[in-house]
Amino acid sequence: MVDILAPAEGETVYDPACGTGGMLLAAVERIRKQGGDPRTFFGKLYGQEKNLTTASAARMNLLMHGVEDFSIARGDTLRSPVFKNSGGGLDTFDVVIANPPFSLEKWGREIWESDPWGRAFAGLPSDKSGDFAWVQHMVASMAKPHGRMAVVLPQGALFRGGVEGQIRQHLLELDVIEAVIGLAPNLFYGTGLAACILVLRQQKPAERAKKVLIIDAASLFRKGRAQNYLEPGHAATILQWYQDFTEVEDRAKVVTLDEIEQEGGTLNISRYVLPPIGQDIPPLPEAIADFKAALQRCREAEAQLQKVMVEGGWLDE
């Protein structure tokens, strides 16, 4: 995701949901791998994290990787953003990246009803999901005219209706959505949901104006027992598709805003890119092995539940 935004030496990088600082470190590592000087990022890395322990871990992580000058603030980004300019408005950054919590409930809608930073410019999300609150905060945090951002979201954010549909439509009308990248399920810790990466720019290159690149990368992963993994080779393939910004059979399609409007404003990947028939059907031996493994896990969970209920006095032996 960081490579897609291509942070350059001396640019400011901001993660409003920085966790342990992994994405900020990825920006530093990108420069290092290209033979640049990571010290050009000193004083230009910013992050905000609500959890005290996690924010402390982010600071330690950056220090342990040789980054000596950064700003990691503790606080609730959606309710009380820390980084503000001298006029009281939000600071803006060259690169904005985040993997915020999926569909966060009770995220601070009451603040946004009269948000002093005007972040509900495209619409006020409901209390049930803060996905598009994060998106709008990040859009408001992009520097003009060259700011760019990438955010990891659950794929439901691409097609849910109601106010989220209105917000998507507004962003499309602004022509800031550059690419949608669908990923495999179970790639992220704590959720088995299929995620996507939404890439936005304050100002697209002229050849990409009024177009959106839709990428289906759901088949690119290494399967693990408890979690799937996106390997470096998979990431390199996705990056190449994004950079080429052209159609790839069964994998990527460039669609116009008019085409998206004809589809009702949805960004649902399957509306534009369909995998080859039969591609997702595993060989019979593999399907049988997966079924047996799932059945064993089910039996183990059932036995554990019975044990807990017996020990708690809710069930007789």
What's residue 306's pLDDT?
A: 80
Q: Enter the pTM of the model.
A: 0.85
288/215 same-domain check: no
155/246 same-domain check: yes
* Closest residue by Cα to residue 125 from 149, 105, 100: 105
306/250 same-domain check: no
What's residue 198's pLDDT?
A: 98
144/257 same-domain check: yes
What's residue 232's pLDDT?
A: 92
Domain hosting 308: range is 282-317
* Closest residue by Cα to residue 272 from 206, 214, 187, 226: 214
152/293 same-domain check: no
Which stretch of DSSP H or E encloses residue 4? helix 2-5
79/221 same-domain check: yes
Judge contact between 284 and 290, C-beta under 8 A. no
What's residue 311's pLDDT?
A: 77
57/163 same-domain check: yes
Total domains in the chain come to 2
84/121 same-domain check: yes
* Closest residue by Cα to residue 140 from 167, 114, 173, 117: 117
CATH code of the domain in which 161 resides = 3.40.50.150
Which stretch of DSSP H or E encloses residue 3? helix 2-5
307/215 same-domain check: no
Which stretch of DSSP H or E encloses residue 255? strand 252-256
Judge contact between 228 and 184, C-beta under 8 A. yes
* Closest residue by Cα to residue 254 from 217, 224, 215: 215
CA 87 to chain centre: 30
What is the pLDDT tens value at each position of the chain, 317 positions in all? 788 998 888 899 999 999 999 999 999 999 888 888 888 889 999 999 999 999 999 999 999 998 989 999 999 999 999 999 988 899 999 999 999 999 999 999 999 999 999 999 999 999 999 999 999 999 999 999 999 999 999 999 999 999 999 999 999 999 999 999 999 999 987 778 899 999 999 999 999 999 999 999 999 999 888 889 999 999 999 999 999 999 999 999 999 999 999 999 999 999 999 876 555 677 788 878 888 888 888 888 888 888 777 777 776 66
* Closest residue by Cα to residue 141 from 100, 204, 202, 198: 202
264/309 same-domain check: no
- Residue 271 tokens read as 């509306």
65/127 same-domain check: yes
207/307 same-domain check: no
Distance CA 64, CA 114 (A): 41
